Structure 1
């Protein structure tokens, strides 16, 4: 079975808005590129899909815009070519190497997990909370930025049940950010 990994940037006060943390640098982009390359496919909700597509879809000209610097290029190439599944009841279609998932999200994700491969990756805010409620997330990875945002969307708001986690990996960045990877704890009765 392929594990489903949830990865997101978050501030110390729990804000997970994409502009609330530290600006990306070469070290963090290399880290995220490696994480994307561990995934056979990406799962996005509509908002995350549209945000990522508007930023990281390679233009029809085949040339990346000038703002994509040399150290951003590996990330841009990795996310552009990745297989994507988009969960949305409002979109009528998707492209950018994507398939639309509109019904039975839990069953669809379970089926994707049963396929062979390295793993699946989910990002965003709303979809991961729904998948956490269904107990479908196998790893949680939080890149915690040394910033207090004071506002914005917060991590996993509305989760129905507590999820006990065990730390399995830690990575410190020169910027002061820390990546912490957890797996749900096995509860013994």
Structure 2
């Protein structure tokens, strides 16, 4: 069964708003690109899908926007080409190499996990909470930003039951950012 990995940036006080941390540097962009490349497919909720598409979908012109620097291009290429699954009860169609998942969340994700491959990647806030509550997340990857945001959505707020984790990897970047990887204790 392929593992489902939840990965997100988080501040020291638990904020997961996409603008709360440090601007991405070369180390973190390399890390995020490698995480995407480890996945056979990405799973997003409607909001995260829309946010990622607006930032990382290659424009119709074929040229990446001028704001994107060379450290961001490999990430942009990886996410643009990745297979995506979008969980939504309100969308009627998706594109950007995506498939809409509208059935029972647990059944749909278990079906995806049973398919052959190296793994699945989920990002966002609301969908990962539902997946954690269902016990479907096999790995948690937190890129911890040395920032106190003081406000904003927090990591897995509202989780129904405690999930005990074991640390399996820790990486420190020159910016003070730390990537930590955990797996649920069995």
TM-score by length of 2: 0.99
- Which segments of 5 or more consecutive residues in structure 1 lack a partner in the other structure? none
TM-superposed deviation, 1:91 = 0.9
Report the 3-state secondary structure (helix = DSSP H, G, I; strand = E; otherwise coil) of the residue aligned with 1:80.
helix
CA deviation map 1:64-120 (0-9, x unaligned): 111111111000000000000000111111000000111211101001101111100
TM-score by length of 1: 0.97
Is 11-20 or 56-65 further displaced after alignment?
A: 56-65
CA deviation map 1:144-180 (0-9, x unaligned): 1110000000000111111000000101011111111
Q: Which residue of structure 1 lines up, in the alignment, with residue 24 of structure 2?
A: 24
Q: Which residue of structure 1 lines up, in the alignment, with residue 127 of structure 2?
A: 127
Report the 3-state secondary structure (helix = DSSP H, G, I; strand = E; otherwise coil) of the residue aligned with 2:131.
helix
Distance between the aligned counterparts of 1:62 and 1:106, measured in 2? Answer: 37
| RMSD after superposition | 0.6
Distance between the aligned counterparts of 2:73 and 2:13, measured in 1? Answer: 31
TM-superposed deviation, 1:63 = 1.0
Q: Which residue of structure 2 lines up, in the alignment, with residue 141 of structure 1?
A: 141
Q: Which residue of structure 2 lines up, in the alignment, with residue 83 of structure 1?
A: 83
Once superposed, which parts of structure 1, at least 4 consecutive aligned residues long, lie more than 6 Å away? none
Equivalent residues in 2 for 1:1-189 (5 A)? 1-186=1-186
- Which segments of 5 or more consecutive residues in structure 2 lack a partner in the other structure? none
Distance between the aligned counterparts of 2:116 and 2:54, measured in 1? Answer: 30
Distance between the aligned counterparts of 2:135 and 2:88, measured in 1? Answer: 20
Report the 3-state secondary structure (helix = DSSP H, G, I; strand = E; otherwise coil) of the residue aligned with 1:109.
helix
Distance between the aligned counterparts of 1:82 and 1:159, measured in 2? Answer: 29
